Chain A
Amino acid sequence: MMKSKLFWPIVVLLIILLINLFFDKNFFTIEVKNGYLTGSLIDILNRGAPLLLVSIGMTLVIATKGVDLGVGSVIAMAGAVGAMTVSGANGDSLVPLFTAIAFVIAISILTGIWNGVLVSRIGVQPIVATLILMVAGRGIAQLITDGQIMTVYYDPYTFIGGGHLLMLPFSIFIVAAMLVIASFLTRKTAMGLFIESVGTNPEASRLSGINSKNILLMVYVFSGICAGIGGLILSSNVASADGNNAGLWYELDAILAVVIGGTSLNGGRFYLMGTVIGALIIQSLTTTIYSIGIAPEINLVVKAIVVLIVCLLQSPEFRKKVFGVFNMKQTEKKSKNEGVSIS
């Protein structure tokens, strides 16, 4: 079941990467420069880190049949809070850095609680509840930065999004850590089962003894934390906070990554690894567009076409129609099996 879900996204990701190889022979080369490993693949991971984080959080929210539209704004807010905390700090001390991280995580937990309470306790539909933060959050970020781009002159701050550990960009480790935490919680404890159960039928789950409300609250808090750390990475990477543009449309990219990864918006099932592949597809696509020199005017069209192809490939009906032409009998058998696994 897992295999068939991940198969097509991985194929698309590989195709995108291979297209790059066609234009740039050194695309897969990873070399040591200035003591760090560098290469396009590492760039994709590094640049994709914020999106990966946000998408991991989004996956769990979508698994409960919800959606978190507020993540883009949380990114902007986290960046603004982080940058403001360290503005004017002395570069010799690490205290402001940790204060900033603490503040950012605190504010992202707060946003998560806000969304979670609205959805789980008050019963507002997730799309409406999180829309509030999507609009208001960016406003708050702009209030914090005074509508300006705030530049940070405190070097330790840039470590989070621009620093290196073991020759690799530090942000990759953050993503890996969050991914491990999420996988552990959902696959090694009963949490994942609870989330899927709440996503399928919250009332039945409640009757069977699951605290649906707290599960809902938790996934929104987790999503908020992921977005907050993502915002910290983004802001730290360019040593500035931009309330207007930081994290703009990230919520949509994250939802896209989750869907490409095979998680249904109907909730009840989720594939963390699928989401990771989905986010990587989106980021490699962006990087590809930059490096093979597609005219900026048609960037979005190219992106849309690729996304469409991925979505079509994900659909068993579509595959049946297209590949069925070549091999009717086999595909029919196959799609029957897949039809079961998808619902």
Chain B
Amino acid sequence: MKRLFKGKKILLLMMSLVFLLSACSSSGTGGQTDSSSSNGAGKSSDKLVIGFSQVGAESEWRTANTKSMQNAIKDAGHELKFSDAQQKQENQIKALRSFIAQKVDAIVFSPVVETGFETVLQEAKDAKIPVFLADRAVDIKDDSLWVTFLGSDFIEEGRKAANWLVEETADTEGDVNIVELQGTVGSAPAIDRKEGFEEVIKDHPNMKIIKSQTGDFTRAKGKEVMEAFLKSDGENIDVLYSHNDDMAIGAIQAIEEYGLKPGKDIKIIGVDAVRGAFEAMAAGKMNVTVECNPLFGPQMVDLIEAHLAGEEIPKRVAVEESMYTMDQAEELLPTREY
């Protein structure tokens, strides 16, 4: 009997603790500047808990993006719950579910692939947690499942890359043979960068994509695939269009080993504008890189705050971006953050 009593006491203690805790958290999420419940400055009650599910750390670009997001959220005084999906959708769905279970105030995520997120996003919607898409879009009909998509326009990046090529080869007689290193199969940047590029070169019948294969956005695969391209088509290749700079860097190694001069014998177009690409351009081994700006953390935090303050936000917000060529590389190299 005594034991039971003791147990009851503990239960009571726990219940009161739970009650206390829930009272605290509700005052936090309520966002009201109620000085009686918050023991610190008024700021702490405005503090949001933001869950961020990143694709992985597959490139320097992604790392810069992760850092920008982390810093922006922390600098704004919010709490960050970070999860790295390591390129796997199942990890990402798990992370999103855990964010929902933790009742975060907002979820930011960069989907690994475009499809298959309906259920988990519906769960977030049911829990009234706003979802912000960063960098990559999803392919879902019901656009009420997310607030906005902040990211680069990948199709436009593809067009930019193709437009540069059109201008560069304007005087060239005969065919321009292009090989393409695609990103991860099914990912938005891979699909859109291909589409934008093809859209432009379609009007130029002398431009042909003779080989196109996935390099999974990684350096090792980029090198391996390029090696195979060189063996089968060799000197016929005039241009390499790589969906990201890392694959291009791998391909440059393959081209050098094959005995051709990257940047001269084979023109190299990358996307992302990471530091490694600037180094390659400064060394004359790469021709151009289309910027895909990863430093949009502060912009994202502004959007989240605006949304929670009740402001109307467009479904699509684009990130400011430009393009860099070989001549600019040396000068800009020291200023690149990523």
**Chain A interface (Cβ < 8 Å from any Cβ of B):** 23-24, 27, 33-34, 38-40, 43, 47, 147-149, 151, 162, 234, 237-240, 242, 244-246, 286-287, 289-293, 296-297, 299
Contacts and interface: CB of A to CB of B under 8 A. Distances in A.
A246 B220 contact: yes
Contacts of B125: none
A299 B59 CA distance: 23
A148 B338 CA distance: 12
Interface string B48-66: 0000000011111001000
A24 B276 CA distance: 34
Interface stretch (B69-77, B156-164, B208-216, B323-331): B208-216
Interface of B: 56-60, 63, 84, 86-87, 182, 185-186, 211-214, 216, 218-220, 223-225, 227-229, 231-232, 246, 250, 253, 257-259, 276
B214 A296 contact: yes
B57 A147 contact: yes
Top-3 shortest CB links A-B: A290-B228, A296-B214, A291-B232
A242 B213 CA distance: 21
B87 to A, nearest CB: 7
Contacts of B216: 245
Given A39-B231, A149-B219, A293 B212 contact: yes
Given A39-B231, A149-B58, A293 B219 contact: no
A40 B219 contact: no
A290 B229 contact: yes
B258 A38 contact: yes
Contact of A245 (B218, B224, B228, B276): B218
B218 A242 contact: yes
Contacts of A27: 231
Contacts of B182: 296
Nearest to B222: A238
Contacts of B258: 33, 38
A147 B57 CA distance: 6
A18 B255 CA distance: 26
A161 to B, nearest CB: 10
A290 B223 contact: no
A162 B257 CA distance: 9
Given A244-B86, A293-B212, A148 B185 contact: no
A227 to B, nearest CB: 16
A245 B185 contact: no
Contacts of A244: 56-58, 86-87
Given A149-B219, A151-B276, A245-B58, A238 B250 contact: yes
A130 B219 CA distance: 28
Nearest to B84: A147
Nearest to B218: A245
Given A238-B250, A299-B214, A290 B57 contact: no
A240 B232 contact: no
Contact of A291 (B56, B84, B231): B231
Contact of A287 (B87, B228, B250): B228
Contact of B232 (A23, A33, A38, A296): A23
Given A240-B219, A245-B220, 14 more contacts: A34-B259, A40-B232, A47-B227, A147-B84, A149-B58, A151-B276, A237-B220, A238-B223, A242-B219, A289-B213, A291-B229, A292-B232, A296-B185, A297-B185
Interface-central residue, B63, B220, B227, B229, by most chain A CB under 10 Å: B220
A85 B214 CA distance: 31
A244 B87 CA distance: 9
Contacts of B185: 296-297, 299
B169 to A, nearest CB: 22
Given A237-B223, A290-B213, A33 B259 contact: yes
Contacts of A237: 220, 223
Contacts of A34: 259
6 contacts: A33-B259, A147-B57, A244-B57, A246-B220, A291-B228, A297-B185
Interface-central residue, A286, A290, A292, by most chain B CB under 10 Å: A290
A271 B44 CA distance: 67
Contacts of B211: 293
A60 to B, nearest CB: 27
Interface-central residue, B211, B223, B224, by most chain A CB under 10 Å: B224
Contacts of A289: 213
Nearest to A147: B57
Contacts of B227: 43, 47
A48 to B, nearest CB: 11
Contacts of A38: 258-259
A125 B223 CA distance: 38
Contacts of A287: 228
Contacts of A292: 232
B263 to A, nearest CB: 17
B220 A238 contact: yes
B74 to A, nearest CB: 18
